[in-house]
Amino acid sequence: MHNRADAVIIGGGIIGMAVAFYLAKSNAGEIVLLEKEPVPGSGATSKAAGGIRAQFMTKVNVEMSMLSEKLFCSFKKDTGYDALFDQVGYMFLLKSEAEVASFTAAYELQKSLGLNVEMLTPEGIAEVAPHVSLDSVKAATFSHDDGLGDPHEFLSGYDQAARKLGVSIEYDAEVTEIKTPSGKISSVVCSKGEISTPLVINCAGPQAKLIAKMVGAVLEVEPIRRQIVTTGKLDFMRPSFPMVVDVSSGLYCHRESSGLLMGWADKAVLPSFDVSIDPDYTDAILERALDLVPQLETAEIANQWAGLYETTPDHHAIIGWEPSVEGLFHVVGFSGHGFMQAPAAGLVTAQMILREKTSVDISSLAPARFGIGKLVEETNVI
């Protein structure tokens, strides 16, 4: 392992790999990525549902995701590796007047920012997603720019492209200490040795807070368990079935091979690193799924798993310099949308570190925003 680097990235999930790729592409010097597990992407990235959308409520989230969608589309050209961004679209089903009002406001914002998004009537919904129950549904927003991708395919593309550009990636390398004599980063200690460096980039996902703690900093990122269930083959499922979100119940589902993947955010789950499967959580997902797609009555469960969201109080990512220590940069806290925002996060991080103008104004994502009364919440979190 190298004993010095211009930058050390902690975490080999989709965020760390995207940051490694964009930094290396910008000739940012000697870069080392440290991952505690024996293989890449075994944290939150391996649990993601693969949803990619720009239909958010805040300008910064819409812009970050629109930039990501553009970069997902040019992935092969940019990295040299294949990964499919299947733009089947995202549909948000709206049942109450309050939902229609808040999603209409978001639709206006998204359109003003250039997103290809439309409002659908119940008839329009039935055309795009024919097996979805229209009980109490008043309208939906739908964007064909949104869709699905396999997080592992994109992660491996970034991994291989970053290596080709000279990044050293070390597995089984758990970071245990960050040395900061006189308030500046000087080195990182991991299970394989010590690397002297002036710059550490925290991409540790749900463990991000523990990395910040190593330098005495407080980072507001909590690990929260989320579960997913998939079905076996469904004869009625067609390839164009989009991601469908029932805003009132919070249930989301999309086609997964020849069946359906279903997930739901149980707001009662408390922060912890527990990723065991809770059968009551599974039942709650299935109950909501049956209400949304009644034909699931005869479906069989093919698989289920639990993983961790890295959640911030305002459900926006934290991207920026740690104010209390010189040389620590955070790219964390994506609150359930880290896969879809990884390309943009990688690019703007490289731009900030190299003191260039960022492609998206991410000043509102700065770590220092907490505790100073400037929070704007993203409310469309599923």
Strand bridging mode 243-246 / 252-256: antiparallel
Quote the tokens at residue 135.
Answer: 């009980």
Phi, psi for 361 (deg, rounded to 5)? -75, 105
Stretch that binds ligand FAD, among 9-17, 73-81, 162-170, 366-374 (CB under 6 A): 9-17
**Which residue, 122, 120, 124, 126, is CA-closest to 137?**
122
Q: Scan residues 241-300 and list those touching ligand FAD (CB under 6 A).
A: 263
Q: Tell me the closest approach of the beta carbon of residue 225 to ligand FAD, in angstroms.
A: 8
Is 37 a binder of ligand FAD (CB under 6 A)?
yes
Q: Is residue 339 within the footprint of ligand FAD (CB under 6 A)?
A: yes
Smallest distance, Å, CB 104 to ligand FAD? 24
Q: How far apart are CA 283 and CA 266, in angstroms?
A: 12
Q: CB 176 → ligand FAD: shortest distance, Å?
A: 7
- Comparing CB distances to ligand FAD, the nearer of 139 and 254 is 254
Residue 6 sits in the site that holds ligand FAD (CB under 6 A): no
Q: Is 223 in the site for ligand FAD (CB under 6 A)?
A: no
Using CA atoms, how far apart are residues 289 and 264, in angstroms rounded to an integer?
9
Q: In the β-sheet with 139-143, what is the strand arrangement from edge to edge?
A: 117-120, 139-143, 90-94, 243-246, 252-256, 259-264, 222-231, 301-311
Enumerate residues 56-95 that contact ligand FAD by CB under 6 A: none
User: What is the β-pairing status of strands 7-10 and 31-34?
Assistant: parallel
Q: Is 183 left (phi over 0), alpha (psi -120 to 50) or beta?
A: left
One of 22, 142, 241, 334 touching ligand FAD (CB under 6 A): 334
Both tokens of residue 341?
Answer: 């925002």
Residue span binding ligand FAD (CB under 6 A) among the ranges 119-127, 203-211, 232-240, 355-363: 203-211
What DSSP character marks residue 136? T
Six-digit token string for 68: 């990501």
CB neighbourhood size of 353 (10 A): 19
DSSP letter assigned to residue 187? E
User: Can you tell me the distance from the alpha carbon of 51 to that of 336, in angstroms, rounded to the nearest whole number?
Assistant: 10
Query: Residue 355, by phi and psi: left (phi above 0), alpha (psi -120 to 50) or beta?
Result: left
Does the protein bind ligand FAD through residue 209 (CB under 6 A)? no
- Determine the size of the site formed for ligand FAD (CB under 6 A): 41
Among 205, 242, 259, 320, binds ligand FAD (CB under 6 A): 205
Which of 7, 9, 34, 360 touches ligand FAD by CB under 6 A? Answer: 34
| CA-closest candidate to residue 285, choices 234, 259, 246 | 246
The answer to the question of residue 228 lying near ligand FAD (CB under 6 A) is yes
C-beta of 269: minimal distance to ligand FAD in Å?
11
Q: How many CA atoms lie within 13 A of 148 on its CB side?
A: 20
Kindly state whether residue 346 participates in binding ligand FAD, applying the rule CB under 6 A: no
Should residue 330 be labelled a site residue for ligand FAD when binding is judged by CB under 6 A? no
Q: Which stretch binds ligand FAD (CB under 6 A): 41-49, 133-141, 351-359, 368-376?
A: 41-49
162 binds ligand FAD (CB under 6 A): no
**Residues contributing to the site for ligand FAD (CB under 6 A):** 10-16, 34-37, 41-45, 47-51, 174-175, 203-207, 226, 228, 263, 307-310, 334, 336-340
